[in-house]
Amino acid sequence: MKFSDYTTMKFERRGRVLNVTFNQPEKLNSFAGPSHTELSWLFYDLVEDKESDIIVLTGAGRAFSAGGDIEYMQWLHDNPAEFYRCVREAKRIVNGMLECDKPIICKVNGDAIGLGSTVAVFSDIIFAADTARFGDPHNKVALISGDGGQIMWPYLMGYARAKHYLFTGEKLSAAEAERFGLINKAMPAAELNDYVDAYADKLAAMPVQSLRWSKTTINVPLRQMAASMMDVGMAYENISSQHPDHVEAIAAFREKRKPVFNKQ
């Protein structure tokens, strides 16, 4: 795809730095339908862009990305073939981020939830406004975080902490995320843009090829983990999407009540 073909993102160049903004603020930049498909091709297009060396990801409005969409979840449940298409897209997202040899800086301007948090933590460097929160609530809707959260959260913050947050879906503040090693730094929202610009410029001034080869080498174990875990995670997510508990979770969300899950 050409960048001009993207309908849910916008692209702005600043020298050799390419700023990519998830641009559906009215939907809290959730990834559903076209936005999910575009995200699955994004990093393959970015790596082939000859006019950039550094990528900065951020979101428009008050969220980085709210992740999934409850109505889209229902539609996927009702259309299993489409869910499998999304499985393929999810694998492309993770593999694309790990294989893109350009450094990816994530500027987390607001909440990063579900797939939004996965995109954030699969980035190479993560800076967040201190008002932002991170969470992976897949389990709250009776799904597993097969989209890659189960790879990166334990890798970055340790298994004990990661299991707590992935089991419960609790959100953690940007300050907590920094303290636990999930992100690089939290800071006042008013300082975020200038800080990220300065950091991107620092990387852009470095030797391009050695920087890319450094990332490629560092990412070898991550690519190996993704290869060994993504198929398993997405298979379980596919199965869980057809489970009655997932249907109940969607219904409870719509009806603003507490879900009653099957205990068998």
Percentages of the chain per state (helix, strand, coil), in multiples of 5: 55, 15, 30
Residue 226: the pLDDT is 96
Question: Considering its fold, how many domains does the chain have in total?
Answer: 1
The pLDDT assigned to 119 comes to: 98
Q: Does residue 77 surpass a pLDDT of 90? A: no
Residue 99 belongs to domain with CATH number? 3.90.226.10
For residue 240, being part of any structural domain is answered with no
Average pLDDT, the chain: 95
| For the chain, percent of residues with pLDDT exceeding 90 | 85
**Single-letter code of the amino acid located at 160:** A
Write the pLDDT tens digit of every residue in 38-76. 999 999 999 999 999 999 999 999 999 998 888 888 888
Mean pLDDT value of segment 195-215 = 98
Joined together, the tokens standing for residue 221 give 């174990």
Q: How far is residue 193 CA from its own chain's centroid?
A: 20
Is residue 259 one of the residues assigned to a domain? no
Number of C-beta neighbours around residue 101 at 10 A: 15
Q: How confident is the model at residue 172 (pLDDT cuts 50, 70, 90)?
A: very high
Q: Average pLDDT, stretch 20-39? A: 96
Please, are residues 118 and 145 in contact by the beta-carbon 8 Å criterion?
A: yes
b/e code 49-80 from CB counts within 10 Å (16+ = b):
eeebbbbbbbbbbebbbbbbbeebbbebbeee
Residue 224, in any domain of the structure: no
Q: Kindly report whether the global pTM for this prediction surpasses the value 0.85.
A: yes
The boundaries of the domain holding residue 9 are: 3-190
Q: Within 13 A of 54's CA, how many CA atoms are on the CB side?
A: 23
- Assess if residue 44 is contained within a domain: yes
State the chain's maximal CA–CA distance in angstroms: 58
Query: Is the pLDDT score of 223 beyond 70?
Result: yes
| CA angle at 81 for the pair 79 and 87, rounded to the nearest 5° | 110
Amino acid 78: pLDDT: 87
The pair of structure tokens assigned to 111 is 């909440």
- Where b means 16+ CB within 10 Å and e means fewer, 5-20 reads ebebbebeeeebbbbb
Tell me whether residue 116 is in a domain. Answer: yes
pLDDT of 263 above 80:
no
**What pLDDT is attached to residue 113?**
97
| pLDDT at residue 201 in the model | 98
Let me know if residue 18 belongs to a domain. Answer: yes
pLDDT at site 264: 67
Beta-strand (E) ranges in the chain? 9-14, 17-22, 54-59, 63-65, 104-108, 111-113, 125-129, 133-135, 172-173, 185-187
pLDDT digits (tens, 9 = 90+) for 84-137: 888 899 999 999 999 999 999 999 999 999 999 999 999 999 999 999 999 999
Residue 237 falls within a domain, yes or no?
Answer: no
Which pLDDT band, with edges at 50, 70 and 90, does 173 fall under? very high
Structure tokens at 17: 């730095």
